[in-house]
Amino acid sequence: MKKIIFLFFLFLNIVFSQAQNNKSIPVEIKVLNEKNQPNNSFILIEEKGNNELIEGETDSLGVFRTTLKLGKEYKPTITPYNFPKNNDISFKSVEISSDTRIKSVKRILKIELDTFYKKKPTTDSIVYKRKYDLENVYFDFDRATLRPESNISLDKLVKEMELNPKMTIKLVGHTDSKGSDSYNMELSKKRALAVKKYIIDHGINSKRLSSFGSGETKPKTSNLTEEGRQKNRRTEVLVLTE
Specify the CATH number for the domain of residue 185: 3.30.1330.60
123 inside domain: no
Query: CB neighbours (10 Å) of residue 57?
Result: 16
More confident residue, 129 or 22: 129
Judgement on whether residues 191 and 95 belong to the same structural domain of the protein: no
Nearest-angstrom CA–CA distance, 98 and 76: 19
The confidence score (pLDDT) of residue 35 equals: 64
Residue ending a domain, choose from 47, 82, 115: 115
Q: Which of 27-36, 194-203, 230-239 has the lowest mean pLDDT?
A: 27-36
125 inside domain: no
Q: Is 62 within 8 Å of 70 (Cβ atoms)?
A: no
Q: What is the mean pLDDT of the chain?
A: 72
> Domain of 33?
2-115
Judgement on whether residues 149 and 93 belong to the same structural domain of the protein: no
The confidence score (pLDDT) of residue 12 equals: 31
Q: Is 11 within 8 Å of 105 (Cβ atoms)?
A: yes
Nearest-angstrom CA–CA distance, 222 and 206: 34
Query: CB neighbours (10 Å) of residue 110?
Result: 9
Q: What is the SS3 assignment for 160?
A: helix
User: How large a percentage of the chain has pLDDT more than 70?
Assistant: 67
Judgement on whether residues 94 and 50 belong to the same structural domain of the protein: yes
Number of domains in the chain: 2
**Which residues 6+ apart lie within 8 Å of 91 measured at CB?**
6, 75, 76, 77, 78, 111, 113
The confidence score (pLDDT) of residue 228 equals: 84
Judgement on whether residues 137 and 226 belong to the same structural domain of the protein: yes
**Looking at residues 95-101, what average pLDDT do you find?**
49
Q: Strands, DSSP E only, in the chain?
A: 2-11, 24-32, 41-47, 53-57, 63-69, 73-80, 89-90, 94-95, 106-115, 130-133, 168-174, 209-215, 234-241
Instruction: Please give the model's pTM, rounded to 2 decimal places.
Output: 0.51
Judgement on whether residues 111 and 134 belong to the same structural domain of the protein: no
Residue ending a domain, choose from 115, 149, 180: 115
Q: What is the SS3 assignment for 222?
A: coil
170 inside domain: yes
Q: What is the DSSP letter of 17?
A: P
Provide the CA 89 distance to its chain's centre, in angstroms.
Answer: 14
pLDDT in tens, 66-91: 777 777 777 777 776 655 444 455 55
Judgement on whether residues 81 and 18 belong to the same structural domain of the protein: yes
**Looking at residues 104-108, what average pLDDT do you find?**
32
Instruction: Provide the pLDDT confidence category of residue 2 given band limits of 50, 70 and 90.
Output: very low
Instruction: Provide the pLDDT confidence category of residue 39 given band limits of 50, 70 and 90.
Output: low
Q: Which of 76-80, 153-157, 234-238 has the lowest mean pLDDT?
A: 76-80
More confident residue, 185 or 30: 185
